[in-house]
A and B are shown apart, each in its own frame.
Chain A
Amino acid sequence: MLKDKLNAVLKIDRRWIFLALTVVLFGAIIHPLGLLSKNIARDTQNAYEFMDKIPAGSFILLDLDYDPSTAPELSPQAMAVARHAFRNNLRVGVVTYSAGATGLIEQLFAVVPGEFKKEYGKDYVILPYQPNAVAVMTQMASDLYGIYDKDKDGKDTRSMPVMKGIQNYKNISLVVCIAGTSITDIWVAYVGDKYNVPFIAGVTAISQPGYGPYLQKKQMRGLLGGMKGAAEYEHLIKTPGKGSSGIDALSLAHVMVAALIIVSNIAMVILKYL
């Protein structure tokens, strides 16, 4: 009798699990529990501290290379980093090497600069999409305007106040790359290491463990991993956003998965020795 029931548990239609997951996630969205990300990862803390120490008026390059498939994880990261930069009165140049990112960048910068009364052309500039990231990064080492002489709307970048005194990597205080692609590796190899440019990355949770060696060797000054990284950064800049609100759902979903794994393993053990 018990054996049949346990077998039924192990052979449950997976659609019931999908339904349970939907209920758990929607429940957390409709009734937030406020389960904040209380443990700030060392790498997120390092990223925050490095950015926080950059003097006001410095220029940072923000590379946003994510498309709608990774936006739920990376968009909150990008938003938090942009807010931090504007709050500290840094000048921001936005670049992308992902064709799918252009619309998302416009969405983000339609919201965040306004919160800090930042002006386009004076405090930030959005540079156009460019293919072949390696060639672009190499060119920027000698003359940034060899590639980016115009912004995304075709306006001359040299005459913009935000670009004043910016010629190449020597004038850039930090590169932040938030990407769902392997472009992060390209920044480390072709820019960070080669020209000693400080580099911070924001990546998807899937690719986060692979960047441990770069962090250990200080080839990266900090790393934000997935939605958790976004929530941690939001916590540090004291501006809760989509990352923080997503932690509730993630925590509950993880509890559910862990419970399922434990229950099914117990059932397997009982079946084995019954």
Chain B
Amino acid sequence: MSHTVLIAGAWISAGLTIFLFSFLYKDNPFFKIAEHLYLGAGMGWWCQIYFGVLQEKVWTPLTHHEWLVLLPALLGLSLITQFIPKISWLSRYGFTFLMGYGSGLAIPAGLATDFINQIGGTIQPFANLAGMTAFTLFNSVLMAVGVICVLIYFFFSLEHKGAIKKVSNVGIYFLMIYFGAAFGNTVMARFSLLYGRFDSLYTFSGKQYLYATQVILIAMVTYFILHGFLTRNKADQDEEAA
């Protein structure tokens, strides 16, 4: 990659990042440009990838006279007929295939992985009760109690009063602990993303990138100052005219 292309990339990257962050101050045309560019570029990227797949999976086999690929290709195309009301009934064939094939794959796998295995995981530790330390025993009991209490909280066929209410209230505490942990992790994840962008901005602030970050940042601040000044003057004039 040539040096010029690298510098251009750095300016585009730094510029778009600053434009998007500028929304935190207030809405502005630069944010809108970056937003629309993001949507357009994202869609463009996805389209070229998907067309590449169509070429590889449908067009190339057809050129080698592998006619069987027409069957899944037609089923796939039938989904698009949803947009043409007169022949939209054709889409049912594609959806039927997707439903049958999807359910057949998903139901046994989902049941085994997320249901039976997890019930096993809750009960299994008690199979080795004699070999348990006090801590592992406490851990296993806590987990089993948590699972039961949360399940009861989500069991709506019984009125939540008396003992059931007490148990479901304990379930709420378990849920709250989970939500707290999830929120903490969410904060960490968001900071990581912010750090990623700031790290790039810091990189692009170097001499080798012709101080892209500083120049764009100063330009943005100047814009906001000028815009604020001009709009205030205009507002004053409108007020006087009124």
> A-side interface residues toward B, CB under 8 Å?
15, 18, 21-22, 25-26, 29-30, 69-73, 99-100, 102, 128-131, 134, 138, 150, 185, 188-190, 193-194, 204-206, 208-210, 213, 216-217, 219, 225-228, 242, 245-246, 249-250, 253-254, 257
- Known interface pairs A21-B194, A130-B53, A193-B117; A99-B109 also in contact (CB < 8 Å): no
1/0 per residue, CB under 8 A from A, across B61-100: the answer is 0000000000000000000000000000000000000000
Instruction: Give chain B nearest CB distance to A120 CB in angstroms.
Output: 18
- Known interface pairs A15-B25, A131-B50; A209-B187 also in contact (CB < 8 Å): no
CA distance A204 to B191 in the complex (A): 12
List residues 33-55 of chain B with CB under 8 A from any CB of chain A: 42, 45-46, 49-50, 52-53
Q: Which of B114, B198, B202 has the most CB of A within 10 A?
A: B198
CA distance A246 to B195 in the complex (A): 7
Q: A129-B53, A246-B192 are in contact. List 12 more A-B contacts (CB 8 A).
A: A15-B24, A25-B198, A72-B192, A72-B196, A73-B192, A130-B53, A138-B105, A150-B56, A194-B112, A228-B188, A245-B199, A253-B194
Contact of B189 among A15, A102, A188, A204 (CB under 8 A): A204
Secondary structure class of chain B's binding surface, majority of residues: helix
Instruction: Give chain A nearest CB distance to B235 CB in angstroms.
Output: 21
Contact A217–B121 (Cβ < 8 Å): yes
Contact A102–B49 (Cβ < 8 Å): yes
- Known interface pairs A128-B56, A219-B113, A250-B188; A69-B118 also in contact (CB < 8 Å): no
Contact B195–A72 (Cβ < 8 Å): yes
Contact B178–A99 (Cβ < 8 Å): no
Secondary structure class of chain A's binding surface, majority of residues: helix
Contact B196–A71 (Cβ < 8 Å): yes
Question: Which residues of the other chain, A, contact B185 by a CB distance below 8 angstroms?
Answer: 205-206, 208-209, 225-226
Contact A26–B202 (Cβ < 8 Å): yes
Say yes or no for B134: interface residue by CB 8 A criterion. no
Interface size class, chain B: 35 or more
- Known interface pairs A99-B50, A134-B105; A205-B192 also in contact (CB < 8 Å): yes
Contact of A219 among B24, B117, B194, B202 (CB under 8 A): B117
CA distance A254 to B191 in the complex (A): 9
- Known interface pairs A209-B178, A217-B117; A249-B198 also in contact (CB < 8 Å): yes
